[in-house]
Structure 1
Amino acid sequence: MERPVLLGAGNSTAVQEFVLEGFPAVQHLGKVLFLLHLLAYLASVTGNSLIITITWADQRLHTPMYFFLSTFSFCECGFITSVIPKLLSIFLSGRQTISFAACFTQAFVFLFLGATIFFLMALLSLDRYLAICKPLHYHIIMNPRVCFLLVTACFSLGVFLMVVPVIKLSQLSFCGPNVISHFFCDLGLLANLSCSETRSIETLFFKLVFFLLFASVLITVIAYSNIVVTIMRLPSAKERQKAFSTCSAHLAVLSLMYGSCVFIYVKPKQTSRLDSNREAALVNTVVTPLLNPVIYTLRNKQVHQALRFALSRVMLQK
């Protein structure tokens, strides 16, 4: 068999495609699972797209928080799209193969957008900290130029952290088994399939993911600790209850995302509890992006007003 050269690298491989195992235990329910995941995917993309559209269409939502939220929603759409369409294909047609290049491209897009989302979540926490704890200086600090630079930094860090391990792994030799025990191209499982020594790459990836989670969690904890202290000083019990309700919803989604990612990635061995890993990854790629539009934005009164205004304009045009 001819051995193609990978991404301009010197190493070669006998593996030209991988097989995504998916969920073999429930493969007989393929059409039912296809329908359920398709509905969840469409609902998630529709909800996040609606957030982006309303934010950019309504002048009242041209604020730093909604700029960050619309960017967050854009990343969520890309994040779920990098994985779910292939999973739908597996459920519906049983097509489990994916080319070598497509597999590593999927792995990079998934990791890059996932890392960017975590940085954006930390940025949203920082934004709320400034809005609640430093209201007089908020608009001075969070001016359009700073907001743009912060979002650019999130994307740049996402690329910087994930491009190196993906490229390094793609340049190794793959000459044996090609079955990935997952429904997408997980970097840790790809490392297990390589014929080359992967300890250094796995260690690097572990450190990068740990840094990503630690940095975003640290920023979030510091921001919300100060927010809680500020809220406790509010004179009105109604204001405190409202503020705490908003924070608890935000923290619930944060806990869901952080918990699933820690469970999947922050451990040296990727081969343990693969079924649990798949379930946790499914929550991270389907459930969380579906809940985020509701929890972060669609429950917001300003967004409700913007939606009613947009609908009324559409009705008037008719």
Structure 2
Amino acid sequence: MTIKTKSILLGILSALFFAATFVLNRSMSLGGGSWIWSAAFRYYWMIALLLPILLARKELLPLLRTMSKQLGAWLLWSTVGFGIFYAGLTYAASFAPGWLLASTWQITIIAGMCLVPIIGPSHEKLSWKTIFFSLIILFGVFILQIPQAKSVSTTDLLKSILPVLIAAFAYPLGNRKMMQLTQGKLSAIQRLFGMTLASLPFWIVLSVYGVAQESLPNQSMLLQTFFVALLSGVAATWLFFKATDMVRTDQKRLAAVEATQSTEVIFALAGEVLILHAPFPDWFSLVGIAIVILGMLLHSCKS
């Protein structure tokens, strides 16, 4: 199995676990839970889940020594890549179904490409073919928004779209900057724990605000955030980091791996219909989903 094939398969598998985020966040929102606790407790649980693994692998002290050398950069890019990213997704879950957020989230593929010249010089330029495939995905996302725009107010539409757009840029920016910072010297699980740890100041500040503004989370919400942390925060992010690390020096393959996240749309839609008994999307939305998936397949096979 080639590195490209393996990285894409890992990307698709991570998308399956990532889809749990959209389904469970929507479930918590429908149950009256605050987006603040949906976001913050995912990362609190991740610390508890990942710490024993790093201790068992004797990777904690080397990670802490590495972080201490560039602590400011770790705090900044972890807050961007984990804090701003996930706070945006959980906030948006209060205003739109998970499958729609998963579809809109695919703009992160285009965002990743746009960030290439901003993050730093690259020896490899993206081809027009890669850009064209990404624009197909963007067109599919646009189609998906049309039925939603007809059924909700402009305010709610913006509240569901704008936070996801911000998250779509924040996640690849934080991830790529951390890849540049670590230069492959840390394992995927070390980088995951390090970014989680460095994002804690953001979550603590948000939690203080939550205590002042919202009621504390109930047992059901704590349990659901645990599963989000396990499936999406640990399993999915570890797989995605591993996949992107494998192709971090190849911009085309990196774009293809990021494009595999489009399969979240299928997984999130199936989860909402089967678990939350959400209404099945209309034919217009299905066309948009099909276009998004087509763009992802072209990315994966032809890039």
TM-score, reference length from structure 1: 0.29
More relative contact order in 1 or in 2 (CA 8 Å, sep 6+)?
A: 2
State the structure with more CA Rg: 1
Higher relative helix content: 2
TM-score normalised according to structure 2 size = 0.30
